[in-house]
Amino acid sequence: MSTAVQSTGLNGVGGAERNRALGRLASSAAVAFGIFLSGFVINEPAPYDLFMAGLIVIWALFGLRFSRTGVVLLAILIVFNLGGWLSVAQMPDLKTAPMYMAVSLFLAFTSVFLAAIIESNHRLLPVIFNAYVAGAVVTALLGILGYFNAFPGAEVFTRYGRAMGAFKDPNVFGPFLVLPIAWLVHGILAGNLRALPVRLIPTLILTLGVFLSFSRAAWGMVVIVIAGLALALFIRSSSRIFRLRIILLSGLAVAVLLVAILIALQIPSVAELFTARAQLVQDYDDAQFGRFARHWYGLLMSIDHPLGIGPLEFGPIFGEDTHNIWLKAALDYGWIGFISYLTLTMLTLGLGLRILFRERPWQPFLLCAYLTYVAQVVIGNVIDTDHWRHFYILVGIIWGCAALEARHGLQPSFAINNTSTKPPIE
């Protein structure tokens, strides 16, 4: 009798363990699929939006928890969107503003959701990064095939002769590819050299995708992120051998990149567009009503309209969008939105930097996300980023890592002697 009861109890415990394992597997797969979909944003709402909205609701029903860090992030983003809705109220004709603001609010929730699930289980970070790499490689291949018109109808993946993958703008497509490039380059610089070929192939695909997007912002982001990675890994290691490895691999990467660019420039259409896009200032930048002039006009307008002029109203007035995230925040979300966005940016930069060099299981992920976020902030001066799904993914990753640090109550550890900087996944 006692033996039968004991066996039943063990089976019950084993069944519960299996159920928990299946639950963790299902949740990881769902998160991975959602992040994968972030590489396919042709219209709004995108498949990513619909899937992640359902995932957030389901996760909330089964116990999504927010720490103090998550609540702070949520509060900042809600105030930011509140400013946007007040700006909508200033519009005599709402047009598509309600849908625009609904997407803005949803994207804010995705950041908070990612921060919360990362805090609850940092092992979701490799799931998120691997899914992001997979989605980026697929959309990059679509952009490359489209650029070379590899099959009938492939031109739908291009715009103005530039690769844009499964996005609606090459200037969004290019920056989207930067985080997976950062992660793969981190693995090349600090990971197992035996896995080098596995990482090199997707890195070349993504790099070619960025190049063929002819997005000056994306080109600059890649330079900032790769240089930052090499410098950070060099600084945080005291091993001379590892530092020599960083120098040699960085030099090799630069050489390969230059050779690849020279080969690509042998194609006349590529060379012509590259020459045109490589100029720092384009004609439409410094014209009478060019990008930089519009920044000044928009600044004056924001002073006269503290509650904003309404989402997407600047473009019809001046013929082009603001192409400046600070100005867009002030005009589309009012002064309330601008202050909120500034607060979010400063806190994200500060929280990430404070824990950037601490020896943690999540440090490689944080490093790549943080450097990519810094590059996003830089290019925000010449482009609008408020509806970029990957921007909110970056914010969620950084705040999730900050929440992990706060939850564990770990002490600062700045003296790091890490000669084995292999990423957690191989």
Average pLDDT of the chain to the nearest whole number:
86
- Within-domain flag for 246: yes
Query: Whose structure tokens read 């014209």?
Result: 287
- Within-domain flag for 24: no
- How many Cβ atoms are within 10 Å of 76's Cβ, its own excluded? 22
> Which residues, other chains included, contact 385 with Cβ-Cβ below 8 Å and sequence gap of 6+?
175, 325, 376, 379, 391
Average pLDDT score over residue span 144-156: 91
- How many Cβ atoms are within 10 Å of 256's Cβ, its own excluded? 14
Q: Which amino acid is at 388?
A: W
- Within-domain flag for 207: yes
At 250, the pLDDT band (50, 70, 90 cuts) reads confident
Spatial distance between the Cα atoms of 107 and 114, rounded to a whole number of angstroms:
11
Tell whether the model's pLDDT for residue 307 goes beyond 80.
yes
- Within-domain flag for 23: no
Look at residue 371 in the predicted model and tell me its pLDDT: 97
CA distances from 8 to 5, 18, 21, 77, 283 (A): 5, 15, 20, 50, 77
Rounded to the nearest 10 degrees, what angle do helices 325-354 and 291-304 cross at? 90
At 422, the pLDDT band (50, 70, 90 cuts) reads very low
Average pLDDT score over residue span 238-257: 84
Q: How many domains does the chain have?
A: 1
- Within-domain flag for 219: yes
**In this predicted model, what pLDDT tens digit does every residue of 257-302 receive, in sequence order?**
778 778 777 777 777 777 766 665 555 555 545 567 777 777 888 8
* Domain span including residue 124: 31-408
**pTM to 2 decimal places:** 0.88
End-to-end CA distance of the chain: 49
Spatial distance between the Cα atoms of 115 and 122, rounded to a whole number of angstroms:
10
- Within-domain flag for 413: no
Tell whether the model's pLDDT for residue 122 goes beyond 60.
yes
- Within-domain flag for 304: yes
Look at residue 399 in the predicted model and tell me its pLDDT: 97
Spatial distance between the Cα atoms of 359 and 140, rounded to a whole number of angstroms:
33
- Within-domain flag for 26: no
